[in-house]
Amino acid sequence: MATRLFVEDYVPIPEVVVPEHRVPYAKFPVVDAHNHIPMAGPHPFPLDLDQIVRGLDYVNVKTVINLSGGWGDTLKINLEKLDHKYPGRFFTFCNVNWEGVGKPGWLEGALKQLEEDVKAGARGLKVFKSLGLNFRDVRGKLVFPDDPRIADVWDKAAELGVPVLIHTADPTAFFKPLDRFNERWDELHEHPDWHFYGPEFPTFMELIESLYRTIEAHPKTTFITAHVGCYPENLGFVSQMLDKYPNFYTDISARLAELGRVPYSARAWFIKYQDRILFGTDVPPTIEWYQIYFRGLETADEYFNYSPDDPHGGQGRWRIYGLYLPDEVLKKVYYENAAKLIDLTPH
């Protein structure tokens, strides 16, 4: 008689035997254009930065972009502990305090703060997914990226000559019922606060449409979307947007799982849009995580786990395939595209 199991206890071990090619360090220098290493603020980074830098040296990551800089005094502390202490190794983006949207004087204050933060050394503006997903104005109404009351923020970034790295929405499964059809069942049971299905949340497409209306409405602003256009499950859609909006770039952070399960389409996508894609991880900068990303981009390995510390894979019950990208594509994705959009010169 077959043994009955709870689905969360079922962790099958594949019997397939395929060649493995571990990649200890990147073939070319790397900019990790999407990471979070806040040294000040509500959730300061707990790890030893000297140890982090030694690891970066080993894996050939030359620069890490810290997207959690905050604003005002918090930003200055982050700049001092990262950018100034380790010149050229870390560059920090600032954030906007959306508290008070809809209140008289909020916009003027936000624009002034953004200008001061860039003058202090912020290399760009990072916008978190809370904008549109759950952040509300002074009257309790959701504030979407294309809200006309915040439009001047995007134009101000263009005026200051800095890019906007924006995260809108999350994996599509996070916005669907948590039932037997949901491909991220394990992940959402482990992190129930990541489940955004219900009347209190906008739909996935409401968020995506707001994001791309924002990009369209501000053609002078350079937008770098997080996570493969914020829609990695649909590379055809992201490709259409890349074709339509020349001011739109994207990083691949935290979406190796989606790219690696469609290796034919993903490889073609990288090659076609090689000038518009930035490398990023969105995970703590550890040697093990970087090596997984490098293996996914550089080798033709088949059917391997994309998480170094989770038997489930961390983002669904599938394994991934390497994309064996050409050298000229790797050079652009790893470093050149980030250097084109972000000022990487120590000040």
Residue 307 pLDDT level (bands cut at 50, 70, 90): confident
Q: What is the pLDDT of residue 42?
A: 81
Closest CA to 343 of 41, 7, 118: 118
- Whether residue 27 is predicted with pLDDT greater than 80 in this model: the reply is yes
Contacts of 237 (CB under 8 A, 6+ apart): 229, 231
- Rounded mean pLDDT of 112-128? 98
176 and 162 in contact (C-beta within 8 Å)? Answer: no
| CATH number of the domain enclosing 143 | 3.20.20.140
**Is 17 part of any domain?**
no
Dihedral (Cα; 311, 315, 321, 327), 10-degree rounding: -120
Q: What is the pLDDT of residue 184?
A: 94
**Is 306 part of any domain?**
yes
- Whether residue 296 is predicted with pLDDT greater than 80 in this model: the reply is yes
Per-residue pLDDT tens digits for 74-94 = 999 999 999 999 999 999 999
Q: What is the pLDDT of residue 317?
A: 86
- Whether residue 310 is predicted with pLDDT greater than 90 in this model: the reply is no
Residue 312 pLDDT level (bands cut at 50, 70, 90): low
pTM above 0.85, yes or no: yes
Q: What is the pLDDT of residue 245?
A: 98
Q: What is the pLDDT of residue 2?
A: 66
- Whether residue 313 is predicted with pLDDT greater than 70 in this model: the reply is no
**Is 346 part of any domain?**
no
The count of other CB atoms within 10 Å of the CB of residue 78 is 28
**Is 7 part of any domain?**
no
**Is 16 part of any domain?**
no
C-alpha–C-alpha distance, residues 147 and 218, integer Å: 13
What are the E-state strand segments in 263-339? 277-278
User: Rounded mean pLDDT of the chain?
Assistant: 95
The count of other CB atoms within 10 Å of the CB of residue 242 is 21
- Whether residue 1 is predicted with pLDDT greater than 80 in this model: the reply is no
**Is 12 part of any domain?**
no
**Is 5 part of any domain?**
no
C-alpha–C-alpha distance, residues 37 and 44, integer Å: 7
210 and 236 in contact (C-beta within 8 Å)? Answer: no
Give the rounded distance of the alpha carbon of 118 from its chain centre. 21
Length of the chain: 347
Domain containing 145: what range?
Answer: 26-341
Residue 144 pLDDT level (bands cut at 50, 70, 90): very high
How many domains, the chain?
Answer: 1
**Is 70 part of any domain?**
yes
